[in-house]
């Protein structure tokens, strides 16, 4: 707990374990006891690495926000078509969650939102970031005549984001039993079919 911004190896372990518990047992299941037990050490040891339980959640979500922003921004290339950019962003998302299923909490974080003001703020930022990114691609697609101009970008966003979130919820409810990168890409193709200019 030396530096506030840098995350130590142990902190990262705790964050990952917390995400895992969160996805498996929900907020109610995430206690100092369950985290400690999963880490194979005592409850008090947690406080060597985090000031409070809330800080773990904040770190988890902040880390994700950072990762996701960096990762998704890198997918968008002006020289590529909007369709390609659209696909690249979602493919990256699905691949990421396929490899880090316990971080799906960040998408399905409705439950977390009532935890604290700070947590709510980060979650809203996370959503906002994704909205901005997506809006950019949609605008590009409209200008390049790839996407329909019948529906405003603002109105298109909730359709796309909602579909994505629902897909993730389905995956979680299935117990992560199928390959989300395959199923996810199918849905993306369908979404594209709908929003592409006929």
Partner DNA sequence: CATAAGTGAGTGAATATTCACACTACAAAG
Partner DNA sequence: CTTTGTAGTGTGAATATTCACTCACTTATG
Q: Which residues contact 60 (CB under 8 A, 6 or more apart)?
A: 15, 18, 19, 103, 105, 106
- Of 22 and 63, the one with the shorter C-beta distance to a copy of itself is 22
Q: From the CA atom positions of the chain, what is the Rg in Å?
A: 18
- Of 116 and 128, the one with the shorter C-beta distance to DNA is 116
DSSP state of 196: B
The string over 74-89, giving b where at least 16 C-beta atoms fall within 10 Å of a residue's C-beta and e elsewhere, is ebbeeeeebbebbbbb
Residue 145 in contact with DNA, rule: CB under 7 A: no
* Cα–Cα nearest to 59, from 96, 97, 101, 22: 22
Residue 1 site contact among DNA, a copy of itself, none (CB < 5 to 8 Å, cut-off depends on kind) = DNA
- Of 9 and 193, the one with the shorter C-beta distance to DNA is 9
Binding mask 92-131 for a copy of itself (x = CB under 8 A): ----------------x-xx-xxx--------x-------
Residue 33 in contact with a copy of itself, rule: CB under 8 A: no
At its nearest, how many Å lie between DNA and the CB of residue 4? 13
Backbone torsions φ then ψ of 115, nearest 5 degrees: -65, -50
Choice from 33, 48, 77, 170 touching a copy of itself (CB under 8 A): 170
Choice from 7, 27, 36, 76 touching a copy of itself (CB under 8 A): 27
At its nearest, how many Å lie between DNA and the CB of residue 35? 8
At its nearest, how many Å lie between DNA and the CB of residue 172? 22
Binding mask 13-42 for DNA (x = CB under 7 A): -----------------xxxx--x----xx
- Of 76 and 187, the one with the shorter C-beta distance to a copy of itself is 187
Distance in angstroms (rounded) separating the CA atoms of residues 198 and 195: 9
Distance in angstroms (rounded) separating the CA atoms of residues 56 and 15: 6
Residue 158 in contact with a copy of itself, rule: CB under 8 A: yes
Residue 116 in contact with DNA, rule: CB under 7 A: no
DSSP state of 108: S
H or E element at residue 40? none
């Amino acid at each position: 707990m030396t530096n506030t911004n840098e995350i130590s190896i142990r902190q990262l372990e705790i964050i990952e374990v917390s995400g895992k518990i969160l996805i498996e047992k929900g907020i109610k299941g995430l206690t100092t006891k369950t985290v400690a037990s999963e880490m194979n050490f005592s409850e008090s040891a947690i406080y060597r690495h985090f000031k409070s339980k809330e800080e773990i959640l904040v770190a988890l979500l902040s880390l994700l926000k950072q990762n996701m922003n960096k990762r998704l921004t890198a997918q968008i290339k002006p020289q590529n078509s909007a369709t390609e950019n659209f696909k690249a962003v979602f493919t990256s998302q699905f691949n990421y969650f396929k490899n880090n299923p316990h971080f799906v909490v960040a998408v399905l974080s409705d439950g977390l939102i009532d935890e604290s003001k700070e947590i709510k703020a980060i979650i809203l930022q996370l959503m906002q970031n994704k909205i901005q990114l997506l809006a950019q691609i949609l605008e590009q697609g409209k200008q390049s005549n790839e996407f329909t101009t019948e529906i405003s970008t603002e109105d298109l966003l909730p359709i796309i984001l909602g579909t994505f979130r629902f897909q993730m919820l389905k995956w979680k409810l299935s117990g992560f039993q199928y390959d989300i990168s395959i199923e996810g890409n199918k849905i993306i193709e369908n979404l594209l079919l709908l929003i592409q200019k006929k």
